[in-house]
Amino acid sequence: MTTVSQRAAVPTASTDRTAVCAYDRLTADLGVAALIDGVQVAIFRLADGTVHAVQNLDPFSGAHVMSRGITGTRGDEPTIASPLYKQVFSLLSGECLVTMDKAPREGLDPRLTVFAVTVHDGLVYVDVPGAM
């Protein structure tokens, strides 16, 4: 897991975002995990070139494993399937699209937190609210 604390202003964004890595270091359809000021984030570069970021915590297992999930689509919506119990989540909204007849762990929201991602000058920036 990459630990990131560098803050950088992105000229096209209204807020400061955290520089995570170079875009070309991401492999299409595979996830990576980054620790941004104490928050575990799963980052995915998809085959179409888009980059998405969600919480790395799987709400159904309670494990930080979403970066190891399986990317896919439901219609035109990009998705990530948990590597443990195979629940499918939207990478756009974080909504759980397929629960596999399982409830999330007690106290956990079944929806993934989605983080804004910007790619600028070959760098990937993730906006984690409250990160400093």
Cβ count near 52 (within 10 Å): 22
Residue 12 lies in a domain: yes
H or E segment at 115?
Answer: strand 114-120
Residue 35 lies in a domain: yes
List the CATH number of the domain containing 68.
2.102.10.10
Please count the structural domains in the chain.
1
Rounded to 5°, the CA angle 29-34-35 comes to 160
Residue 132 lies in a domain: no
Query: Where is pLDDT greater, at 80 or 14?
Result: 80
Q: Which long-range contacts (CB under 8 A, 24 or more apart) does 26-32 make?
A: 26/51, 26/124, 29/71, 30/71, 31/66, 31/67, 31/68, 31/69, 31/71, 31/80, 32/2, 32/67
Residue 63 lies in a domain: yes
pLDDT tens per residue across span 25-74? 999 999 999 999 999 999 999 999 999 999 999 999 999 999 999 999 99
Structural domain for 41, as ranges = 2-127
